[in-house]
Structure 1
Amino acid sequence: MIRLFPLMFIFFFSQSFAEVPAHYQQVSVKQQVPATILYAIALQESRPPIGLIDGIDKPWPWTLNCEGNGYFFASRQAAFNVASHFITSGESCDIG
């Protein structure tokens, strides 16, 4: 089983990143960052839990991490309103 783990790991990640969206590839070239790494970071930081937003399983643009809690919004305006509240109250809030 231990010998199988590296193969399973490679298979899993090759399937996950086989189709990095074109705009991530374009940015990766310009910023000199591997596209798979850039996309992996975007997924880690802004992918909503599966099923939370119509089954979306990709990075979500209206994402906030405020005071260590992740928030996912259906619209830019909703995210803006909550981010404004956190920022004006002096709390930590990561956007995007």
Structure 2
Amino acid sequence: MSIELTLIISIISVLFAIYAGANNLKRNNTTDIKKDAYETATINVKLDTIGKGIEDIKVEQRSTNKDVTDLRDRVLVVEESTKSAHHRIDEIKGKDDK
């Protein structure tokens, strides 16, 4: 009788240990899945923020390029005007020298 009682207690203990281990494994898997999902969401949000920042930089760069082009065109006009003014000044000097 004592061997049967010991055997029953051992079997119950083993079954309880298997049950507890399975529950612990399931809980750990659920926790790991939640942690991975949180980390993935955080990474996605950061990547989206970086992407928006890059788009803002591109828009700003386009605006800057347009401003530089406008300034270049204005400088060309000023240079042409200056050449014309120098030419007229040289003509006026030539008339005075004669």
Structure in which a larger fraction of residues adopt strand: 1
- Determine which structure has more spread, i.e. the larger CA radius of gyration: 2
Q: Going by fraction, where is helix more abundant, 1 or 2?
A: 2
Is TM (by shorter chain) over 0.5? no
Q: TM-score range by the shorter chain?
A: under 0.3
Give me the TM-score of the superposition, normalised by structure 2: 0.21
Structure possessing the higher relative contact order (Cα contacts under 8 Å, 6 or more residues apart):
1
